Structure formats: structure tokens, C-alpha cells
Amino acid sequence: MSSVMTASSVPRFRRGGWVFLLPAGAPFIAFVLWPLIHGVSLGFFDVQLGETRFVGLANYRRLLDDETFWAAVQNTCGFVVLVVPIVWVLSLGISALVYPMGSFARSFFRFAFYVPVVAGGVCLAMVWMWIFDQQFGLLNHITGSLMGVQVDWLGRTDTALASLAVVVISWSLGQPIIIFLAALGGIPPELYEAARIDGAGPLRRFWHVTLPLLRPASLFVLVTQTIGVFQVFVVVLLLTVNGGPAHSTRTIVYGMYETAFTPMYDFDYAAAQGSVLLVALGTIAVLQFRLLGRQTRLD
């Protein structure tokens, strides 16, 4: 984010700034900032029917011994490990193939891969519920006729998480492809020309020119995807029974939802889980920017 704070040569207006900021500022403070602060602070309290008592780290101590929470943490990390690298490789590969094919192909494939993003989680979860169905599902029809295998995709602990990951991947490609296509357009063609004169083939050109120059775009994609996948919820709620089988698909956000909004209504304990998510995502964002940011500068 280097260009963000550059000073401008035009003097700024001295007055009136707050007036412009007010229409956004008021709802920002009331509905974005304050709930965020309140959400973190709630984790240190015990909320019981109108009575709120400070309990320090009690909720966090409870988290340490909560096996379902650790299952959620483990599954959430599992989603990230499964989804993020695959999305990165697929979107980068697709963009690298599409880009040289001209503007028609670019618009066409950009459109095709973005349509699932537009459809949204609920629509896709509904249809995947049918596709994964053991008896009437399209997937078992295909695997059955090709390999003679029929699987209860969402009902087995060893396939449920991966099946949900496929759904998440299917709606995660659109945005990175747009980003990579735009970034590919920013690479000066002379660099490829120079590499070619030096005798580099297409693969080496991709490895030594394209990949390093796409690092900022890759960084952005990795960070946004990680943040997005950490918040997986809809597929778990709609495609599984309470994050099952045997807690194998429950995620942190699903756990939060269950703790706070099913008959438990345990708000403070859910808030503590939310704070863990907040700290994890904040750390990941900072780390990824540091790590990849430094590499970019060294080049």
C-alpha cells in the first residue's frame, strides 16, 4: 500500500471535511466500529438475562478445553489449506492461458468464471446438495458410470470436508481471474521479448517473468482468499447436519452461529470465538503482507 499516503501538491481545504464525512461516519461508528469493539469486549463478560458481569479470560479458558471448538479450528484451517492453494493455482493458470488469446476470450472466460460468484452461496449450496446426494445426485451418477463407485459424499468423515471445499472453490475463482488478467495486462511486453532473445521458452518466461511480476496480485489474492475461506459458513449450515458427520465440517463461524443463535444463546462465549477469528485473520493479513511484500522489494 505504498501509494496510499502520498502527499498531494494541491493544498487541502481547511474546513468542511467533517461535513462530508458525517453521512458515512455516523453509520460507520454505530454499525461497523462500535459493534466490532463491543464484539471483542463481550468475550470478557458473562451475559445473563440483562445482567453483565466481568469474568476476564473465563470464556477463553473454556475455549481451551472445548473439543468442538478445536475441531472447528482444525476444519477451518483444513478448508484454507485445501481451497486457497488450489484457487491460486487454478486462477493463475486459467488467466495465463486466457490472456494471450485476445480480448474476446478474455471477456468470455472472465464472465463464465464470475457467474458462480454472482449466484451466491445459498443458490449454489442448494444445487450442490442435490449434486452430492447419494441416490439421486449427479456426482454419483458420473462416478458410478465412469468408475463404478458411489459415495455418500457429505455423510463420510473422510469426504465431507473436501466435498464442501469443492463448492467453495467453485465460487472463488471469478475474482482472482479478473485480478490476474488485469495484472497480466500491466506487464511490459518488452520483458517477454528480452527473455525470448535470451532463449527462454514459454515455461521459463512464465516462471522468470510472469510469476515474479504477478507477486503483488498473488499476494492480494492469497490474502483475500484466506480471509474469505476463514469465514466459511453457508455450505456448512446448508449442506451438513450441524457441521457433521462427527464435527468433521464444523467451522469457527458455524460454531459461533450455533453458540449464539441456536437455543443456547450463549452470546459471550460466541463473542470469544469471534475474537479468536479476528486475531487469527489480523495476524495472517499482516504476516502475508510482510512476507510477500519483502520478496517483491528484493526483486
Prior bond of 245 cis (ω within 30°): yes
Candidates 72, 92, 217, 222; binder of other proteins (CB under 8 A) is: 217
**Contact, 232 vs 226, CB < 8 A?**
no
3-state SS assignment for residue 142: helix
Candidates 12, 50, 51, 147; binder of other proteins (CB under 8 A) is: 12
Q: Is 201 in the site for other proteins (CB under 8 A)?
A: no
Q: Is 70 in the site for other proteins (CB under 8 A)?
A: no
Among positions 125-144, residues that touch other proteins (CB under 8 A) are 125-131, 135-136, 138, 141
Among positions 221-250, residues that touch other proteins (CB under 8 A) are 221, 227, 230-231, 233-234, 238
Among positions 142-161, residues that touch other proteins (CB under 8 A) are 145
Q: Is 207 in the site for other proteins (CB under 8 A)?
A: no
3-state SS assignment for residue 65: coil
Query: Which residues have a Cβ under 8 Å from the Cβ of 130 and sit 6 or more positions away?
Result: 136, 137, 138
Q: How far is the CB of 135 from other proteins (least distance, A)?
A: 8
**CA–CA separation, 56 and 45 (whole Å):** 7
Candidates 97, 211, 246, 291; binder of other proteins (CB under 8 A) is: 97
**CA–CA separation, 163 and 132 (whole Å):** 8
Candidates 148, 189, 199, 263; binder of other proteins (CB under 8 A) is: 189
Number of residues that bind other proteins (CB under 8 A): 109
**CA–CA separation, 162 and 85 (whole Å):** 14
Query: Which residues have a Cβ under 8 Å from the Cβ of 295 and sit 6 or more positions away?
Result: 215
Candidates 53, 56, 157, 193; binder of other proteins (CB under 8 A) is: 193
Q: Is 3 in the site for other proteins (CB under 8 A)?
A: yes
Stretch that binds other proteins, among 54-62, 63-71, 151-159, 175-183 (CB under 8 A): 175-183
Stretch that binds other proteins, among 56-64, 75-83, 89-97, 151-159 (CB under 8 A): 89-97
**CA–CA separation, 275 and 66 (whole Å):** 16
Q: Which of 56, 73, 54, 55 is nearest to 64 (CA)?
A: 73
